[in-house]
A and B are shown apart, each in its own frame.
Chain A
């Protein structure tokens, strides 16, 4: 009976937080568009120099970081080819959307299917090679896709890039950041919940076991080869859909949009946020996409000052942001391999171990 008494307020407070978060998420785009809260004008600094476009790009990046975290953090397969799956999606979008004139939702479905097939092919080397060699095979795949994209772009379009039409749901045009936001937010939530659900199934648990110890996973009766291919196909299907969305959002992409730094940013996101944690993937993507803009906001405040702050924030801001992310990755890898969201659990484990010793 005690447990019931304590359970019910916890339950309701959880719902309260969810409702609050939902209300905030729904209000955010209006806040960022009107740049005022209930009629009171906010300064650029109070809004952290953020605009809805950055938030939308963050949401698209979240699709990528979530899917990469599923692959790397949960199934234990490191891939530096994630940009390639974005490119596969963008290319599918160009063929089906721009050239064939398919409706946007169908284009996304096709991008998912093509992405899954590309993922299966990219995952094939994992049947024979392990570790670093496999990482290199994803690297090779990245360049194969890049090359194909370039050839495709120059055959059908030109040096400017591949154009995309305005995304439409039926006759409803998704032509403002606000409309994109309300399309992207549910999509991110859907992918998040879907992945969370997948990971809590039996097979999801076996996949996490495979990340910890592949041989031992075989020793408990799992066919790791099939599991690896499944993980790859699933993850790249999501990334490919995200790539198609990215292309439609940007309305024009070219082969250079999906360079190797595009792939590496996803790895950085999941290291910073927390490898193996879906929340970490969200945190990592948010930091990666929003922090530069926030720092730029601070920089605009110190234009008058001089010295070290001006040197860092104004004159060398781009490099400064890179240094921040770079050191964040190194420091987290050494001291908190669980990333930002793993720090709490790390401390709890330490304390528990200490308690056991005494």
Chain B
């Protein structure tokens, strides 16, 4: 069985700016949750854009390499086609349709489904995020940040994607809410078998829920492995998770 997402030796550039991704390889196995971690400007968003077909919109281009989605090559496939092929997207900054009601937001996400399947899929989303059911009739712009994030997830999930791409889910949200949302995502992965690629700055929380992770720095993958391997690697602890060293001995006394 091929991987749900298979990126091979991908290099991506922007017009007049040189390469933003340099020979990146990454794979998401079916049913797994994979985290892509890195600081601002490391190339996380560029990678997401390359996968979702939005590079064109930002004057970017794939210089070399391949992107396979469930066995199909998808470099230069139009973004809306990818969604119809089963790639759910949760864009950075949530981007809910503020003037539409919660229900209409989900209905727009469900517009790619056959009509008969819509009700059932929407109910499944409401079951996953009961808050959305309570707010069904409210305009999405009036929801709290956490609720908007749930809605953005629900909108992507309602179409029944095989692969879900989540960009910066934790941005601007309280840790407790982020925890709760990630727990629901794990349930989705376990029950529906949805594969996920999670792009995060919040390394600690991503490693808690992902099965494996990639670290990206200045456009290159510098480390990859299972979440546990990455958590205990010394360089990771120093640069991302933060450690407290004893002032006298220099030994790590607290993570």
Contacts and interface: CB of A to CB of B under 8 A. Distances in A.
B129 interface: no
A215 B91 contact: yes
Interface residues of A, number: 23
Interface stretch (B22-30, B99-107, B170-178, B181-189): B99-107
Nearest to B165: A219
A202 B111 contact: yes
A304 interface: no
A219 B52 contact: yes
Contacts of A217: 97, 108
A347 to B, nearest CB: 13
Nearest to A220: B109
Contacts of A211: 99
Given A202-B107, A209-B108, A213-B97, A218 B80 contact: yes
Contact of A205 (B54, B79, B98, B107): B107
Nearest to A216: B95
A353 B108 CA distance: 24
Given A349-B142, A353-B142, A276 B107 contact: no
B78 interface: yes
Contact of B111 (A216, A219, A222, A276): A222
A352 B142 contact: yes
The prevalent SS among residues of B at the interface is helix
A352 B104 CA distance: 19
Interface in B113-172: 138-139, 142, 155-156, 159
Given A215-B91, A219-B89, A205 B109 contact: no
B96 interface: yes
Given A202-B107, A205-B111, A220 B83 contact: yes
A352 B135 CA distance: 11
Contacts of B54: 215, 218
Given A221-B159, A349-B142, A216 B97 contact: yes
B100 A206 contact: no
A206 B95 contact: no
Contact of B79 (A203, A219, A349): A219
Residue among A203, A211, A218, A221 with the most chain B CB within 10 A?
A221
A342 B128 CA distance: 33
B142 A208 contact: no
A34 interface: no
Given A206-B108, A212-B98, A218-B80, 17 more contacts: A202-B111, A205-B104, A208-B97, A209-B100, A209-B108, A213-B96, A213-B98, A216-B91, A216-B95, A218-B54, A220-B111, A221-B83, A221-B111, A222-B108, A223-B78, A224-B80, A352-B138
